[in-house]
Amino acid sequence: MKAPITLLAVVLAAIGTTTAVNAALPDPGMEIDRARTALVITDPQNDFLSPKGVTWGVVGKNVTENNTVENIETLLKTAKAQGIQVFISPHYYYPTDHGWHFEGALERLMHDIGMFDRKGALTTEGFEGSGADWLERYKPYINDGVTVITSPHKVYGPETNDLVLQLRKRGIDKVILGGMSANLCTESHMRELLEQGFEVAVVSDATAAAQVEEGDGYEAAMINFRFIANTVWTTKEAVQKINDAK
């Protein structure tokens, strides 16, 4: 109990808000080393990002305000141009998943509205253009034969898929993270990647979340990203750092 934050707070109060913000919570930052850094995008799928997707009614406003669709594309384009490896962690449900005995609140909702549904693990019937498919404009980047498409995560984090292994098998230990949705899969990916010893920079406007009467998922995520990640960047900052990296 040697250096109470209370003291810190007093000092900070004395020197003004902006400094206080920086001083109170450190911002460790993250240096990009191109060979060891990946862009990871969670759930870049129609059900979150298309006006026809099943969740547009609750995420559409936030997606639009953040310019999320364009920002994710900008990250994909920049990473490809600069030789940063890209990993996509999708979310799919198969018919057997509807036999689960219990679910958390959003899991229940996603199952009820048929979100991310596919007809099976070993068939692509009906997949093209469905809510589970990639947003059309991302396909050139994701389906180029180089981008690593992991197995689907089945709750929110990468604990149930091969993302961590795929990153490690390529010597990656730093992740630039974006995608949908901010306080669910994106945040669970950030948390698990940190538990596994990665550095994570979250891109705050390359994501968005449901804003409902029970709460603003985007606001919650922004607080937790700032508290937990190694650093938080805007898309503009991320692009510049990728371009400047060696």
Touching a second copy, residues 63-82 (CB under 8 A): none
| Minimum CB distance to a second copy smaller for 14 or for 25 | 25
Site residue total, a second copy (CB under 8 A): 109
| Minimum CB distance to a second copy smaller for 18 or for 244 | 18
**From CA 7, how far away is CA 35, in angstroms rounded?**
42
For residue 21, the minimal CB distance to a second copy (Å) is 5
Alpha helices in the chain (DSSP H): 5-15, 17-24, 46-49, 56-66, 68-82, 105-112, 139-142, 163-168, 187-195, 217-228, 235-244
Touching a second copy, residues 26-55 (CB under 8 A): 26-28, 46-47, 52-55
For residue 74, the minimal CB distance to a second copy (Å) is 23
Touching a second copy, residues 140-199 (CB under 8 A): 145-152, 154-157, 159-162, 164-171, 173, 183-184, 187-188, 191-192, 194-199
| Minimum CB distance to a second copy smaller for 74 or for 185 | 185
| 210 binds a second copy per the rule CB under 8 A | yes
Q: CB burial class (10 A; 0-12, 13-18, 19+) of residue 80?
A: middle
For residue 119, the minimal CB distance to a second copy (Å) is 10
Touching a second copy, residues 92-151 (CB under 8 A): 94-97, 99-106, 108-109, 112-114, 120-124, 127, 130-131, 145-151
| Minimum CB distance to a second copy smaller for 74 or for 180 | 180
C-beta neighbour count of 221 within 10 angstroms: 22
The closest alpha carbon to 112, from 125, 90, 129, 93, belongs to 93
| Minimum CB distance to a second copy smaller for 41 or for 74 | 41
**From CA 43, how far away is CA 184, in angstroms rounded?**
11
| Minimum CB distance to a second copy smaller for 55 or for 71 | 55
**From CA 48, how far away is CA 58, in angstroms rounded?**
9
Q: Which strands sit side by side in the sheet containing 148-149, from one edge to the other?
A: 148-149, 85-89, 37-42, 174-179, 199-203, 231-233
